[in-house]
Structure 1
């Protein structure tokens, strides 16, 4: 985060480094007026309550009214949320964000009847409505998806009760975050020169774990793990509560298993889910062990501990880059994507869609928010090094996806399955990596680019994937009635890490507490989807580089399709069949080839 004293306050940031929220509302007064108006206009939808069985006209009018109301609310919510993320110290923005949250709860409660009434309609009735009202065709997938939930829907009263308990169901996630971000206090530690350094969750994960100094990495790890130890039983109870409520809900809703319930909204088969977990663990492990041995040798370490996994391989080498130069590099790398896509990239970079300043109170990390009816907004903090270009390219991948989906689809049809969401973003990282590697660079620059790409694969194919493996085991244990205690969770995590890393990395007791470090376990079957998106982008980016235009056109069609197709069919449109496990093997083999190339650069 750097020293607070030399960081700018938000009001001191030059305007060109900030995003332009006037593209959504020209002033806060306009925003406030619209937020009030949207809440008053809820009756444009509630007038249809208990009337959805009247026929196709009424159904269409209701769906259009609901979509329009949500479009307006979404813009108001995005405006408040974007304002807050750039300065959490601004109390007015905090209040505005709280107002939006309250309004959202009320609006969602008022609109809940639409889905339950549609689910209650007989399938024949829906088919007849679709046949006689052409306007309903663009809602077809939405209506079909709702009908598919029918076997798992409970009585209206029960559904209302479960909806009212929403905040209770999300309590484990909130308790986890409160414990992690507010209560945990870490002891400071000493570096190799005897300086005492402060420690927090964010400092460990974001800074010390990838420090150049082995002393800093290992000593901060020791202090970090000591604190985790003190919280493991309460964190285990919190996570067990999350899992148990999911298992109970799956039984109540008559799913064969909790996995079936969690995969249903993703529209992914169990086989596709298991393929990602099985094949990557089995086939990537030998390559990653080779990478670990290389790291140990080149860094001159007596042993590679779990604390050393993120040690930088070429720590002294940094490519300094300004935001302007980085933006130019990203533009060059994405030229291959054609006119329409490049027009979007050009606008994003010249019309202030990106907020890249570093100021006190700004959210860390990076994201892309794409409110329908406005343009996407990207948040990041420019690091003054080439690493920033990968972050920028990644977030512009999300932006390009939803910009095109928003241009070609109605709001209801813009979001595809979560299984696909990380493909367009990692695609741009792949194209940027290829662009940088194809330049006539010296050995060290090439090595740096390979290390950036390996960072992307480590994040998605190792960290998140092994989270996914723990989830798979935990759900299976819970369904067998095994109590999920801290020692059970640690044993499972330790076993997963040992079978992946073999004897190349020392898996100590602290490593077995990795289940305490990420919030993803509270988000359904989310972690494994990172590897699915990256598998897709690895294969399709190769097609784009080898075939050029025809492969680009297929990819753009996929982005424009938004949420109109199930993920398997959507990805087939790009030329990849994710039900064929060989495609996962090809992506893993590519990671192996990068590691081989890296090793050669040291010879």
Structure 2
């Protein structure tokens, strides 16, 4: 389907952000013109509190405009990444952001040169209330902030530094061309990013195998180019970590949210300690599928039948509403508002960005991009992305612009909490043994895919970044070996490791956003704890959760979660999550033999 063939009710309402492309362009040129006004603040923001406050308000004003321009341009681009008009807009928006970063590069060094006692005295004035945390974060980063000239150079380099990410995104989103495979009835199916996992989740094993080999064969033809692109992305991360006096790229990226590195290491350590559970699940899957050998193209296949293979989007919305009912009336009303007012771009079309996300600009309702295929997994994706969206809504509604943006570390908690509530609702409200087994398996799959898989990804990043930091170049052979060995460790001896899986690193776009994916694993751990609290405590649990949900970026992520009753500096949340995984695994092992598993 081409973009213009989409029904308007199935697309997001971008005119809520800008009435037309021209209106966006007007703001783009307005922002570019405003940038020159930063010159009057250079060497002046530290002279008196009045000038500092004026700067901060001006900076908010221009950043609000730039944010809208950037989000609109890129969301329009993501509708169809072959559309040259929006490719151009996206490039212009990126240039605006880079120029804005360059123009403001003087600010942090100038603040850091001030007498801290004087600065803190100014911040005690009530007109600075919204900016206290912002300034305190600048002071926290003092050891990693350089002189004005160097900061300006680094800011100008950002556009160049994003080249690897942009090249990969263009290849993976627009230029890659997957082949056609045939199903058991001889129907030809062209592989896309959107239908690949649904194919692997189907019962046609030969189709799964053919799609698996065809997709990774396509990446294999470009493996050296993709490896060079990934290596370049790690190299640029190493460069910034080095010049900013961080001991490693990981330390730099985690410091953005003030996350102790022990949180990352604890995650990998606890998962390693419970690897036997993952191996048990692989063994269970092999037995349930009744195969002599379990292959990598079997890891998504359903091990129990379900009568409802395809779920219409209207039904998916009702399922999500029912599952999230424990969140209370206000939350459900906001969810319905999003459903009714075209916050969501629902279906796949040619050139559309793959995957799913929630995004938006302050002062405008959030948006959600989906590529909905009617699977249960995509129902959970809807709940997940609306978790992000409503987190943004509540943060924006309760925090000033400068404090509204929450860190990714907590973002994945809000989204995964929604998934946990939904799965508990679905399990509670079925008496059908086959359906219950299917749902338990789906929950097990969430653990496998979110806690174990994302931890494996996190370990891959830890290894590969360390290799570059130590002077190695990441070739395709090296990357394939590292990735293959990790799969061997995580899946165990009951999995046949098809050679193609060594290339999976080449199709993971998140690797171009370093040290991001571990937050999915920590997120599910925190989310399970929070969803349990909401279900057990009702209104009191929701009240504590809302302290977190409305907090935006007003506190460090670790402290926001503590408000809701979860301490991620300990191993406990991860251990508790894996206890639930074990309980579900026990149930599945005890019951699957009584269910028809010839899927």
Q: TM-score, normalised by structure 1?
A: 0.90
> What SS does structure 1 have at the residue aligned with 2:358?
strand
CA contact (8 A) 1:120 1:150 kept: no
- More deviation in 592-601 or 519-528? 592-601
With over 3 angstroms needed to count, the CA separation of the structure-2 counterparts of 1:361 and 1:251, relative to structure 1, is closer
1:516 aligns with 2:506: yes
1:130 aligns with 2:123: yes
Give the distance between the partners of 1:309 and 1:528, measured in 2 at CA: 21
Instruction: Describe the superposition over 1:253-278 as per-residue Cα deviations: whole angstroms up to 9, x where unpaired.
Output: 22233332222112111111100111
1:379 aligns with 2:379: no
Aligned to 2:131: 139
Aligned to 2:529: 539
Aligned to 2:153: 161
With over 3 angstroms needed to count, the CA separation of the structure-2 counterparts of 1:245 and 1:440, relative to structure 1, is closer
CA contact (8 A) 1:464 1:531 kept: yes
With over 3 angstroms needed to count, the CA separation of the structure-2 counterparts of 1:386 and 1:213, relative to structure 1, is closer
CA contact (8 A) 2:195 2:373 kept: no
> What SS does structure 2 have at the residue aligned with 1:328?
helix
Aligned to 1:594: 584
Give the distance between the partners of 1:465 and 1:62, measured in 2 at CA: 42
1:18 aligns with 2:11: yes
Structure 1: segments with no counterpart, 5+ residues: 1-6
CA contact (8 A) 2:98 2:158 kept: no
Aligned to 1:108: 101
Displacement of 1:442 = 0.8
**Equivalent residues in 2 for 1:314-353 (5 A)?**
314=304, 317-353=307-343
CA contact (8 A) 2:305 2:435 kept: no
**Equivalent residues in 2 for 1:431-442 (5 A)?**
431-442=421-432
Give the distance between the partners of 1:28 and 1:411, measured in 2 at CA: 24
> What SS does structure 2 have at the residue aligned with 1:266?
coil
Displacement of 1:134 = 1.7
With over 3 angstroms needed to count, the CA separation of the structure-2 counterparts of 1:135 and 1:473, relative to structure 1, is same
With over 3 angstroms needed to count, the CA separation of the structure-2 counterparts of 1:495 and 1:60, relative to structure 1, is same
Displacement of 1:31 = 3.5
1:275 aligns with 2:262: no
Displacement of 1:368 = 1.4
Aligned to 1:364: 354
Give the distance between the partners of 1:14 and 1:190, measured in 2 at CA: 29
CA contact (8 A) 1:86 1:363 kept: yes
Aligned to 1:469: 459
Aligned to 1:3: none
Aligned to 1:548: 538
> What SS does structure 1 have at the residue aligned with 2:105?
helix
Aligned to 2:597: none
CA contact (8 A) 2:101 2:156 kept: no
With over 3 angstroms needed to count, the CA separation of the structure-2 counterparts of 1:325 and 1:309, relative to structure 1, is closer
Displacement of 1:405 = 0.6
> What SS does structure 1 have at the residue aligned with 2:159?
helix
**Equivalent residues in 2 for 1:124-273 (5 A)?**
124-131=117-124, 133-178=125-170, 180=172, 198=190, 202=193, 205-273=196-264
Structure 2: segments with no counterpart, 5+ residues: 595-599
With over 3 angstroms needed to count, the CA separation of the structure-2 counterparts of 1:189 and 1:29, relative to structure 1, is closer
Displacement of 1:367 = 1.7
Give the distance between the partners of 2:71 and 2:515, measured in 1 at CA: 26
CA contact (8 A) 2:296 2:498 kept: yes
Superposition RMSD in Å: 2.8
- Residue 114 (structure 2) aligned to one of 114, 121, 139: 121
CA contact (8 A) 2:11 2:344 kept: yes
CA contact (8 A) 1:370 1:403 kept: no
Instruction: Describe the superposition over 1:369-420 as per-residue Cα deviations: whole angstroms up to 9, x where unpaired.
Output: 2310111122224434554432221111111111111011111111233221
Instruction: Describe the superposition over 1:41-80 as per-residue Cα deviations: whole angstroms up to 9, x where unpaired.
Output: 3355443222111122211111111112211232233333
Displacement of 1:551 = 1.2
Instruction: Describe the superposition over 1:452-509 as per-residue Cα deviations: whole angstroms up to 9, x where unpaired.
Output: 3333323221222101111222233334444544333333223222222221112243
Aligned to 1:310: 300
